[in-house]
Amino acid sequence: MDNERLEKRIRVLAEHAAPDKLGDILANCGRDDRKGTVIDMNNEIKKRKSPIKAIVAVAAAVALICAAGFIGYSYGHSTVPTEDAVIMLDVNPSVSISVDAQEKVLAVTALNADGNIVIGDMDFTGSSLDVTVNALVGSMLLNGYIDDITNSILVTVENGDAARAATLQERVTEMVSGALNTDGLQASVISQTVSHNDELSAIAQQYGISEGKAELIRKVVQLDPTLTFEALVGLSVNDISLIAASRSLTDSTVTQTGSASDKGYIGEDAATAAAYAHAGVSAADVSYSYVDYDSENGIMVYEVKFLAGNVEYEYDVSALDGTIVKYERDQSGSGLSISQNDNGDYIGEAAAKAAVLEHAGLSESEVTWTKANFDRENGVMIYEIDFITADSEYDYEVNALTGAIVKSERELRRTAESVVTQQPQSTPAAGGSASAGAGSGEYIGEEAAKAAVLEHAGVSAADVNMWTKCALEREDGIMVYELDFCTAGEKFDYEVNATTGAVIKAERETRNSGAHGGNGNGNGSGGAWQATGDFIGEASAKSAALGHAGVAEGDTYQMKVELDRDDGRYIYEVEFKANYMEYEYEIDAYSGAILKAESDYDD
């Protein structure tokens, strides 16, 4: 945006905001016992050639002219004002505005380094909320934090009165939208209300973000557990919004006007073409493809999944330049074959949704879909269908060829109880067997599971900053509670038998210090441990990988085996070359299960 357009926009913002403050300023500057200078803002803007000087003129005129006299006029003859509400604005810069009951500003605080740049030397004390919001948005525009490429801003209102918070949310959203949607910029304003709590404050402080952004990320992760807080925390609000939109994630407590801009990225078609080219397949070869946004090591990627012949591909493609960031492929030769029905066609997402609604005894008007993925489970293609109702969360797996319900789980919302309503019904894949589950006993409940892990970890409930995961899942044929939590200095990852309460897995990692190897029973020298027995050893891990690949060790070269931690679990990374192919494996360090298998031609 050129200087002339920037100055035009700032002039619009100033004209919108100034009447609110100028009346008081002019009256105050005219008092005999006050001193001050009145500046003509329009003339000041005309004198300045650079946009940075323009914002200084407007901000100074609105916030600092006769500041000493005006502040005295506002608060000098009354009691000290108390905080009524906090409004947070997040783009990547994060700032918070504290106001009293009359919506006069008590303080504006930068929540990160970019927030300091936005505030600069401006002093908003005593200004109206309207003036302050307009000036801050103007500074974000001038400093390049909001533009056609990054057009999203998050508005969060914190107030103890829900009705008051909702009213403020609506008003501030209108202020921000009015300030941004000028001069052809189509902005996206995301807004929400939050109630202050120590848990949210601790997690925000831990990651150096606002409570508003922390709450937004937590909602997104709850809607799609394949995402993690750590993966999203470094992204801008615009990128988080793109990820949520691509996965159809919605929350009734979050409102959004406009759409997040994707102009800075290459687009789904280009990402898909890059993945096809790398895989050496043509579009005509592909029977199924799926694309959505994701984050990989803090950068935005397109996650491209597709099926060509008997090979399933999964690619992460840089959203900025189309670089292949990561890729995997499962070949029929690896034991993952695709069965077919009579005509070889999949039933389709709509039919899968209809099947789960019939099974649950619900109508479409009663549900909100939260997940609909096409995936492979134990060598069988399935639809993963998740949805929520007013009181429950449902998690289904449907055979993609026959429409049979493979798995069905129901969990009561806002309670700790989970009811498994259907055991697996599908015919097991070759070499596997259907499990009858954990037995007929009742589950111990989330609170009992939490108590078990806290006792095991030697941690009190008061020391827990945040429970990052509490979920009832099926693991190796039994139902378990997966419980993750953080203290001030450590991260914990547990699995608890949902029927007996026995601790199945326990991991502990010192935050901000790399995980160290141990003997697998808690006695290692580092900050991580597990309570599930000893590691299988490098020789066994290597043997498992070679057996899966169907390669004799004598035919290999450049063999490498390393013990590592990935997503909270210990694994052996096994890499080798044989017969003009490259192989990469991840092997569970305790069970020997193959977690990932990749092979590609040796270039």
For residue 39, which amino acid is it? I
Considering only residues 232 and 432, tell me which one the structure prediction assigns the higher pLDDT: 232
pLDDT at 339: 35
Mean pLDDT of the chain: 75
Residue 169, pLDDT > 80, answer yes
Least confident of 126-130, 429-433, 560-564: 429-433
Q: What is the CATH number of domain 268-330?
A: 3.10.450.40
Q: What distance in Å separates the CA atoms of residue 27 and residue 34, rounded to the nearest whole number?
A: 10
Burial (CB count <10 Å: 0-12, 13-18, 19+), residue 187: buried
Residue 395, pLDDT > 80, answer yes
Long-range contacts from 328-335, C-beta under 8 angstroms, 24+ separation:
328/596, 328/598, 329/279, 329/598, 329/599, 329/600, 330/376, 330/597, 331/599, 333/550, 334/548, 334/549, 334/597, 334/599, 335/379, 335/431, 335/548
Residue 136, pLDDT > 80, answer yes
| Local structure of 359: helix, strand or coil | helix
Considering only residues 497 and 372, tell me which one the structure prediction assigns the higher pLDDT: 497
pLDDT at 568: 58
Q: Calculate mean pLDDT across residues 388-407.
A: 85
pLDDT at 179: 84
Q: Calculate mean pLDDT across residues 148-170.
A: 91
pLDDT band (50, 70, 90) for residue 486? confident
pLDDT band (50, 70, 90) for residue 34? very low
pLDDT at 64: 40
Considering only residues 454 and 309, tell me which one the structure prediction assigns the higher pLDDT: 454
Q: For the segment 83-119, what is each residue's pLDDT rounded down to a tens digit?
A: 999 999 999 899 999 999 999 999 999 988 899 999 9
Residue 535, pLDDT > 80, answer no
Residue 538, pLDDT > 80, answer yes
pLDDT at 402: 87
Considering only residues 422 and 394, tell me which one the structure prediction assigns the higher pLDDT: 394
Residue 521, pLDDT > 60, answer no
pLDDT at 267: 94
Taking alpha carbons only, the member of 576, 577, 570 closest to residue 595 is: 570
Least confident of 68-77, 148-157, 269-278: 68-77
pLDDT at 42: 39
Q: Assess whether the region 349-422 and the region 538-601 belong to the same CATH fold.
A: yes
Q: Calculate mean pLDDT across residues 313-319.
A: 91
Q: Calculate mean pLDDT across residues 298-303.
A: 90
Structure tokens given for 27: 């009256």
Taking alpha carbons only, the member of 272, 229, 220, 214 closest to residue 247 is: 220
pLDDT at 515: 32
The DSSP secondary-structure symbol of 195 reads -
Q: What is the CATH number of domain 538-601?
A: 3.10.450.40
Q: What distance in Å separates the CA atoms of residue 516 and residue 525, rounded to the nearest whole number?
A: 7
The CATH class for the domain spanning 349-422 reads alpha beta
pLDDT at 12: 53
SS (H, E, C) 143-168: CCCCCCCCCEEEEEEECCCHHHHHHH
| Bridge partners, residue 283, by sequence | none
| Local structure of 86: helix, strand or coil | strand
Considering only residues 164 and 52, tell me which one the structure prediction assigns the higher pLDDT: 164
pLDDT band (50, 70, 90) for residue 574? very high
Query: So where are the chain's domains?
Result: 3-257, 268-330, 349-422, 538-601
Q: What distance in Å separates the CA atoms of residue 128 and residue 99, rounded to the nearest whole number?
A: 9
Could you tell me what percent of the chain has a pLDDT over 90?
26
Burial (CB count <10 Å: 0-12, 13-18, 19+), residue 218: middle
pLDDT at 379: 58
Q: What distance in Å separates the CA atoms of residue 434 and residue 418, rounded to the nearest whole number?
A: 21
pLDDT band (50, 70, 90) for residue 68? very low
pLDDT at 531: 29
Considering only residues 597 and 426, tell me which one the structure prediction assigns the higher pLDDT: 597
Residue 341, pLDDT > 50, answer no
pLDDT at 275: 94
Kindly report the pTM of this predicted structure.
0.50
Considering only residues 419 and 471, tell me which one the structure prediction assigns the higher pLDDT: 471
Q: Is the dihedral angle over the CA atoms 94, 98, 102, 104 positive or is it negative?
A: negative
Considering only residues 20 and 241, tell me which one the structure prediction assigns the higher pLDDT: 241
Q: What distance in Å separates the CA atoms of residue 340 and residue 381, rounded to the nearest whole number?
A: 10
Burial (CB count <10 Å: 0-12, 13-18, 19+), residue 462: exposed
Residue 36, pLDDT > 70, answer no
pLDDT at 160: 85
Could you tell me what percent of the chain has a pLDDT over 70?
72
Structure tokens given for 141: 């525009």
Q: Calculate mean pLDDT across residues 544-549.
A: 88
Structure tokens given for 156: 């969060």
Q: Calculate mean pLDDT across residues 120-141.
A: 91
Q: Calculate mean pLDDT across residues 34-49.
A: 38
Residue 108 near residue 119 (C-beta atoms within 8 A): yes
Measured between its terminal Cα atoms, the distance across the chain in Å is 45
